[in-house]
Structure 1
Amino acid sequence: MNKKWLEVMVSTLILTSLMLAGCSNGENAEQSESESDEVTLKLFTWINEENGNWEETISTYEEENPGVNVEVNTLVENMSADDYLKQLDLLAASGDELDLIMFPSSEDLAKRISTGMVEPLNNYIDEEDITLDEVYNTGPAPATDDGEYYGIPSKYNTYLIMMNKNHLDEAGLEIPEEWTWDDYREYASTLTTDERYGSYLHTWSTIFDTLKMFGKGEENLLIKSDGSSNMDDPLVKESLQLRHNLEKVDESSVPYADIISQQLSYRQQFFSQSASMIPIPSYMVTEWGGYDPEFEIAWAPWPKNDSNDQKYRYASADILSMGESSENKDEAYKFMRWMTTEGMLVQGKSIPAWKQTDTEEVLNELANSTSNPEAVHVPSLLTAIETGEEAEQFLPAGYMTEVYSAYKTEVEKYLLEGQSLDITIENAKQSVQDIIDANK
């Protein structure tokens, strides 16, 4: 082989190598660019797969939105929102990226606005040119006084009375469609037997120690919308008297001492038929916590304080917020809007706050999604959900959880130690005012 041909062959080999390298680099670049187009959104919640149907829900969204991956982080396995919030705060404090955050109430959201955990949404809402009040039932009002929104309501939880219909039938009692707390006491006494209590009131002061406050059309929390104390409202004292009467006078509701000492679960008490009635939000339509009821569940509206009162419907909501630390805010907002509308129907586990929802159709589908569809008495549930005018609400102060914690401290002295009702209210009133003053 002559020298000239050798030079040609070497040159050809070098050129071929360079071309192959160029192609390879091009493919790597295209692959790298393709990978960089992928977006992963981290969603944080306390709701597990059984009660959230996340696998089907997220798969549906990802199929409709190629290149977007949603990673569901269930921080607790016990479905405890309180435990979840503790873990969430730890993650935020450590600087973890939080794209999408679920909150069980407007109080829990409000507490974290001042910490900078959540991103305001008004710019996204304005750009989309929508009005949240027209799209959602925003009774839980995830907005500050100046109209800044920090979340979108997803699951809509109307306050109702969940009842064991079999027990009602045995006692010859009708499912109430309009009633008072005096009626509730009579029902509880009638339903109480040697084997069970007629009523169960859990430990949350936000509901069970302020029962009568939710019969009002407005100002139904321990702090008013203007930030002043609401402890002078006579319904605060009447709520505690009601609980005391049920547990210690009528002996028709599980004693608070037993709930604390035995660490009783409200799900266990109701679904094991140890208690016939429990005031609870409507999320319990499907969230049975692994129990398969062997009886039919009926529902009644929240009792009125007086038979002549206007009937109001109080609701809370699970709220979906955007993390301030998210690096994919546009995609996060897009998911929020889908999840709180069509996504709620795909999830099929709760009543959406989305106004476009056909409530009766959703209730039937929710019942059919459970392990025992026959256990849900849909007609009474529909009546209870649609009874009354919606109560006015507002986003509470960020220290509202402190207020209820201080209130609970005094309530426990009343229920456990025999502290008088008057002293309980007096001490609680002072504690609440101290918290307000400290946060001015």
Structure 2
Amino acid sequence: MKNRKWLTLSVMLVVVLSLLAGCAGNKGGNSAPVNEGSKPQESSNTGGGDAKPVKLKMWGGVPPESGPQAVVDAWNKENPNIQVEYVRFVNDDDGNLKLDTALLTGQDVDLYVNYSLTQVEKRIASNVALDLSGFSDYNIDEKMGADAAAWKVNDKYYGIPTKKNVFFVALNKDALDKAGLAVPKEWTWNEMREYAKTLKADFNYGLVQHTEPLIDPVDSGLVKAGYTKEDGSSNLENPVVKQWLETMNGMMREDKTTPLLGEQLTSKMPVENVFLGGEAAMLNIGEWLIRSSNNTTDFPRDFKIAFAPVPRLSDSGADFVTRGGLGDFISINAKSKNQEAAWEFLKWYADGGMAPMAAGGRLPASKDVDQETALTSLLGDKADTYDVDSLRYVLYEDKTPTFVRSVPQEVMDLRAQEYEKYFLGNQTADETLARMAQRHNDYLKQQK
């Protein structure tokens, strides 16, 4: 009898100790660490009481005053238990190196913005981008549409593309009206070359371009034709590359309607200032122009801006694809200790929380965001300084298929090095094509 009573007391003691151990293990509301490859664990530190708020750091390339600070302020006001701090890095080689170093050395990075697929792939390989398939409460394909799939790697999402990427040609509408030229809805580079010749009469340049989208016409052709041939060798000697080289060189040297590339690079020409300052009639750029063109204090102008799609090289538009799709691909750091909290913020951001970013030229991609509301936010009180119908067309109505540039950085660099030699007059177009292809083939061999 005594033995049975002692056994009962022992069992009760074990149960009590187990319960106490469970309570101690959950003290502070922290869940177990996330195991690699498992579903992200939910932090229970979202209730009241004395629990300290979860603190997240989000890294992005947009200046805080251009929308990000307003975004996190709005979130922080409504979510005292999950507080977000925005950290700005410059979206260039040095800035991305700074972010990569922070990710790899375990500095505080919970969420970060990728601006190219190449960056995403590198960060996945470094195990600092979380596979989002562990979350089942948000359908990225449904929310963002078919263009989102361009950001998949091995058929998985390691982030959410949050904004519409739009590239266009901005035009001085007053100058177009004076010359009797319509705002194009589709056109070729030859047609834009003629526009540049006509418009240059009243400007220093008919056309200026950012160097970043300069080579987009080549990618528009090679996305369809392939960057490599069937035998696996380089396709950088494709006729589309030569056509682009000769078209641009003709505008630089024969027509003198666009700056010599060497002069533009040497002077670090601020092409947005040149266009907004009335020195150029057209500007090949993307939606980030709106951030500057809305700022009439620093960039005063007395003309209305119209918008046209980026032209195609060929006369046939049947197979034309233009750069665009979706961008601002936001990933959660796979090493973050607050993945569930980061996920809650990311969903909110993608579905409309990013609205203040529109004032800086970043239009939300989610179908849950009203397009006209976003457009109103984009233009603010400057709507009367734009041809809004043409802007609406390039943003929402142009149905030309789009691509997201995914060329490896090494290939981007070798192409640029060779076409710069051509535009500087140091080698012919044929020599440039041969050098591009040779160096691309060397790169391809190294990857095997």
Class of the TM-score when normalised by the shorter of the 2 chains: 0.7 to 0.9
Structure 1 unaligned segments of length 5 or more: list them: 1-28
CA displacement 1:13-42 (0-9 Å, x = unmatched): xxxxxxxxxxxxxxxx99999565411110
Q: Is the 8 A contact 2:217 2:312 kept in 1?
A: no
SS at match of 2:282: strand
Equivalent residue runs for 1:265-304 within 5 Å:
265-288=270-293, 290-304=298-312
Q: Is the 8 A contact 2:216 2:323 kept in 1?
A: no
Tell me the CA shift for residue 187 of structure 1: 0.6
Matched, 1:49 2:64: yes
The one of 74, 93, 96 equivalent to 1:85 is: 96
SS at match of 2:390: helix
Q: Is the 8 A contact 1:138 1:353 kept in 2?
A: no
Q: Distance in 2 between matches of 1:175 and 1:48?
A: 32
**2:116 matched residue in structure 1:** 105
Q: Distance in 2 between matches of 1:257 and 1:88?
A: 31
Residues 151, 229 of structure 1: alpha-carbon distance in 2 compared, 3 angstrom cutoff: farther
Q: Is the 8 A contact 2:160 2:329 kept in 1?
A: yes
Tell me the CA shift for residue 270 of structure 1: 1.7
The one of 366, 377, 380 equivalent to 2:378 is: 366
Residues 30, 49 of structure 1: alpha-carbon distance in 2 compared, 3 angstrom cutoff: closer
**2:368 matched residue in structure 1:** 356
Tell me the CA shift for residue 298 of structure 1: 0.7
Q: Is the 8 A contact 1:158 1:313 kept in 2?
A: no
**1:24 matched residue in structure 2:** none
Q: Distance in 2 between matches of 1:191 and 1:368?
A: 29
**1:263 matched residue in structure 2:** 268
Q: Distance in 1 between matches of 2:205 and 2:332?
A: 43
Tell me the CA shift for residue 139 of structure 1: 2.6
Q: Is the 8 A contact 1:151 1:319 kept in 2?
A: yes
Paired amino acid for 2:219: M
Q: Distance in 2 between matches of 1:37 and 1:226?
A: 60
Q: Distance in 1 between matches of 2:205 and 2:447?
A: 42
Q: Is the 8 A contact 1:283 1:351 kept in 2?
A: no
The one of 180, 190, 193 equivalent to 1:172 is: 180
Matched, 1:143 2:157: no
Q: Distance in 1 between matches of 2:188 and 2:396?
A: 17
The one of 393, 397, 401 equivalent to 1:391 is: 401
**2:331 matched residue in structure 1:** 321
Q: Is the 8 A contact 2:113 2:330 kept in 1?
A: yes
Q: Is the 8 A contact 2:209 2:285 kept in 1?
A: no
SS at match of 2:83: strand
Q: Distance in 1 between matches of 2:231 and 2:345?
A: 34
Q: Distance in 2 between matches of 1:116 and 1:323?
A: 8
SS at match of 1:303: coil
Residues 329, 230 of structure 1: alpha-carbon distance in 2 compared, 3 angstrom cutoff: farther
TM-score normalised over the length of structure 1: 0.81
Tell me the CA shift for residue 44 of structure 1: 0.6
Paired amino acid for 1:87: K
Tell me the CA shift for residue 361 of structure 1: 3.5
Q: Distance in 2 between matches of 1:295 and 1:302?
A: 21
Q: Distance in 2 between matches of 1:31 and 1:231?
A: 57
Structure 2 unaligned segments of length 5 or more: list them: 1-26, 31-44
Percent identity over paired residues: 27
**1:67 matched residue in structure 2:** 81
Q: Is the 8 A contact 1:139 1:390 kept in 2?
A: no
Q: Distance in 1 between matches of 2:438 and 2:338?
A: 45
Q: Is the 8 A contact 1:152 1:319 kept in 2?
A: yes
Paired amino acid for 1:43: M
Q: Distance in 2 between matches of 1:55 and 1:191?
A: 40
**1:214 matched residue in structure 2:** 220
Residues 72, 220 of structure 1: alpha-carbon distance in 2 compared, 3 angstrom cutoff: farther
Matched, 1:196 2:204: yes
Q: Distance in 1 between matches of 2:392 and 2:265?
A: 34
CA displacement 1:166-199 (0-9 Å, x = unmatched): 2222322211122111111001111113641011
**1:159 matched residue in structure 2:** 167
Residues 429, 340 of structure 1: alpha-carbon distance in 2 compared, 3 angstrom cutoff: same
Q: Is the 8 A contact 1:143 1:395 kept in 2?
A: no
CA displacement 1:375-429 (0-9 Å, x = unmatched): 22210011123454353647837xx011101111101111114311111111111
Q: Distance in 2 between matches of 1:220 and 1:328?
A: 44
SS at match of 2:288: helix
CA displacement 1:22-68 (0-9 Å, x = unmatched): xxxxxxx99999565411110111211332x2232212222332311
Paired amino acid for 1:315: G
Paired amino acid for 2:367: K
Q: Distance in 2 between matches of 1:85 and 1:226?
A: 35
Q: Distance in 1 between matches of 2:405 and 2:202?
A: 44
* Stretch deviating more after TM superposition (430-439 or 404-413): 430-439
CA displacement 1:120-164 (0-9 Å, x = unmatched): 21212xx2152x2221045362211x2121121112112211112
Tell me the CA shift for residue 220 of structure 1: 7.5
Q: Distance in 2 between matches of 1:138 and 1:152?
A: 13
Residues 172, 392 of structure 1: alpha-carbon distance in 2 compared, 3 angstrom cutoff: closer
**1:114 matched residue in structure 2:** 125
SS at match of 1:55: helix
**2:11 matched residue in structure 1:** none
Q: Is the 8 A contact 1:157 1:283 kept in 2?
A: no
* Stretch deviating more after TM superposition (33-42 or 154-163): 33-42
Residues 50, 224 of structure 1: alpha-carbon distance in 2 compared, 3 angstrom cutoff: farther
* Stretch deviating more after TM superposition (408-417 or 86-95): 86-95
Paired amino acid for 2:59: F
Residues 138, 95 of structure 1: alpha-carbon distance in 2 compared, 3 angstrom cutoff: farther
Q: What is the RMSD computed on CA atoms of the aligned residues?
A: 3.0
* Stretch deviating more after TM superposition (164-173 or 317-326): 164-173
SS at match of 1:154: strand
